[in-house]
Amino acid sequence: MLFRSSNTVFDALQVLSLGLLNCQSASVGYESSASNNMALVKGSANWYVNGPLSVGNSGSGNLVIVTNSWSRATDVTLGNNDGANGNVFRLIGGGIGDDWTALSANHVYVGYSGAGNQFVVSHGGNAGIPFYPDNIGEMQIGVQASASNNSVTVTGYRSSDWRSALILSNDLYVGNNGSGNQLLVSDQGTVSCQGLYLGNTITAANNTVTVTDTGSVLTVATSLSVGNNGSGNQLILTNGGTMSANAVVVGVNASASSNTVIVTDPGSALTASVSLVVGNSGSANRLTVANGGQLLAGAVTLGVNASASNNTFTVNGPGSFLSLSNSTVVVGSSGVANGLIVTNGVTISCGLVILGDSSSASNNWAVVTGSHTYLGTSNLRIGSGGANSQFLIVDGGQVDVSTKVVLGELAFGPGSPGAINSTVTVSGTGSVLNASALNIGGGGRFGQLTPGPGGNKLLVMDGGRVTIDSGNIGYQSQASNNMVIVNGNGSVFTVLNELDIGRAGTGGKLLITNGGSMVASNVIVGVNATSVSNVVNNCGGSLIVTNASATGTLDLRRGTLFLNN
């Protein structure tokens, strides 16, 4: 057994020039008084520890450097005990033609209980050896709650095809229980692992993973959790750094709040090939794609469970890109007050957008705003099951829906608020909504139950424009008091074919006011026998019913027409 520098300071161990040191266990800085000791392994040398290696078991400021050499241990621990702070392990690659710099171990703990410890892989060094069985198994940064501000850095390269690497055959924890711990991947460094837990337990707060610079890569074989139980944790991809996983979840459990993912700058990319979740059960978590960053995902869901509230997803800035493989964006699966922001010249295409998917999913919202900001989707469901959903198209934003917009889709039976009081607002010059069909008050996936979807509104205001092929206000028989309001000069609601006001529901309303305009080929008020108390009110606006063959009709069957100019 070897205890190097058991209780002394400024001691040095050197293994040089083809030297070999083989021991059962080793410690650099064993006692709390053992500080600023060093072990150097250099020049095609080998240090084999058949048991554990600790750098700062209880001591502080100790250093191990491995360069152009190999080292192996069952476990490597930096800062083992509380108070073992500021210890460093460096793997430094050499020049072209030099031997590998490599470390293999079953487990690496950077800050088990101690703080401010560092593990650095640079200049083409390898922690874990590619294409060899001698990898690192599992790594934890900040193991215990006292283990704060520890860091792992993987940076640099020795040639274009020989980059610094951290290769794990199992999982990586950044902040298992500790806070303020960091993983930095920079300057073409690479990190790979099975799963990644950033902020694993409830005490694991404010931990950070940063991937920066073109060619820097973080690869997660299974799933990334940003805030498994902890809060305030961050994943940052910047300046061309990339990261990929099958699934990415931000805010996994109910305690996991205020966690953040940021993807920013051209070339920076996050890939979640199967799914991306912001707020599985946690609240106030954020995902931001900005300034030319890219997100590629199978599907995106905000607010999965009922406890998941106030989570947000923002796509911001020209050049920022979101590819969803023609999949679904759900804002509020069961959670409340979750939000999607698409702004400042972004283009997004996806298969389906849903706001408020279940009866508990209320007060969810989405905003498409700014000139040249575009959202294209095949279906748009606002208030799919929940109440008070809000979809805003403002300040020049544009939304194209190739098939159908459903506003207030269904209700779930007695005692359920159902899909009520949801709103689509198209406001401001240049703001546009185009759709093949529009149903307000039902007409979605399932037949409705009592009570019906009611109080839903389409607002076309202040120069906004909506164009649809056909539409229904009060689509289902239980649908009541749904309406369209066209308000303000330059505001236009165009129906290329037929608009039914009260197809089966009651109390459907169309209000045109303050210089707004509505143009349709045909309008029927009160289509079926169940559809009563419908209203068309032109109060200071323009109502035009016409078509190319001059056969347009305003058919008033069950309702009231007010013309008050």
Distance of alpha carbon 564 from alpha carbon 562, whole angstroms: 6
Token output for 261:
């993912």
Is residue 159 pLDDT above 80, yes or no? no
Q: Can the peptide bond before residue 451 be classed as cis, meaning omega within 30 degrees of 0?
A: yes
User: pLDDT of 366-413, one tens digit each?
Assistant: 999 999 999 999 999 998 888 899 999 999 999 999 999 999 876 444
DSSP for residue 51: S
8 Å CB contact between 534 and 508:
yes
CA distance 505 to 523: 16
Tell me the whole-structure pTM to 2 decimals. 0.92
The candidate with the shortest Cα–Cα distance to 336, out of 410, 387, 263, is 387
- pLDDT over 80 (residue 453): no
- Beta strands 286-290 and 312-316: pairing type? parallel
- 211: β partners: 185, 237
pLDDT at 10: 53
Helix (H) or strand (E) holding 218: strand 217-220
pLDDT confidence of residue 412: 47
Confirm if 56 and 117 have CB atoms less than 8 A apart.
yes
pLDDT at 78: 98
Count of C-beta atoms within a 10 Å radius of residue 151:
21
Token pair of 319, please?
Answer: 């050049």
Nearest to 331 by CA among 314, 356, 368: 356
pLDDT at 165 over 90: yes
Residues 470-511 have pLDDT tens digits of: 999 988 777 888 899 999 999 999 999 999 998 888 899 999
pLDDT in tens, 13-69: 677 667 778 899 999 999 999 899 999 999 888 889 999 999 999 999 999 999 988
Gap between the Cα atoms of 315 and 397, Å rounded: 13
Residue with tokens 């997004």, as numbered in its chain: 348
Residue 17: strand, helix, or coil: coil
Q: How far apart are CA 162 and CA 358, in angstroms?
A: 51
Closest C-alpha to 395, from 430, 422, 365:
430
Mean pLDDT across the chain, nearest whole number? 90
Is residue 451's pLDDT more than 50? no
Give the integer Cα–Cα distance in Å for 356 and 446: 15
| Model pLDDT for residues 235-271, shown as the tens digit of each residue | 999 999 999 999 999 999 999 999 999 999 999 999 9
Q: Report pLDDT for 65.
A: 94
Tell me the torsion sign for CA atoms 297, 300, 305, 310.
positive
Q: Secondary structure of 340-394 in the HEC alphabet?
A: EEEECCCEEEEEEEEECCCCCCCCCEEEEECCCCEEEEEEEEECCCCCCCEEEEE
Task: Give CA–CA dist 249/228, Å, rounded.
Answer: 8
Write down the residue that tokens 């750098």 correspond to.
Answer: 55
CA distance linking residue 196 with residue 257, whole number of Å: 18
DSSP 457-524: EEEEETT-EEEEEEEEES-STT-BS-EEEEESTT-EEEEEEEEEESSSSB--EEEEETT-EEEEEEEE
pLDDT at residue 326, as a whole number: 62
Range with lowest mean pLDDT among 227-241, 279-293, 310-324: 310-324
DSSP string, 175-195: SSS-SS-EEEEETT-EEEES-
pLDDT band for 152, please (50, 70, 90 cuts): very high
Q: What is the pLDDT of residues 310-366, one digit of tens each?
A: 999 999 988 898 888 668 999 999 999 999 999 999 989 888 999 999 989 999 999
Give the span between the Cα atoms of 216 and 210, in whole angstroms: 10
If we measure between CA atoms, which residue out of 452, 456, 458, 378 comes closest to residue 417? 452
Rounded alpha-carbon distances, angstroms, from residue 123 to 68, 190, 208, 209, 237: 10, 12, 23, 20, 21
CB burial class (10 A; 0-12, 13-18, 19+) of residue 296?
A: middle
Instruction: Find the helix or strand (DSSP H, E) in which 66 lies.
Output: strand 63-67
Per-residue pLDDT, 448:
37
3-state secondary structure of 156: coil
Query: Is it the case that residue 452 has pLDDT exceeding 60?
Result: no
Q: Tell me: the pLDDT tens digits for 454-472?
A: 788 999 999 999 999 999 9
| Share of residues in the chain with pLDDT > 70 (%) | 91
* Angle in degrees, CA 29, 32, 33, rounded to 5: 80
Cα separation of 82 and 78, whole Å? 11
Q: Cβ of 221: how many Cβ atoms within 10 Å?
A: 15
Q: What pLDDT does 6 receive?
A: 55
Quick one: DSSP state of residue 59?
-
CA dist., res. 120 & res. 560, Å (int): 77
Q: What is the pLDDT of residue 445?
A: 39
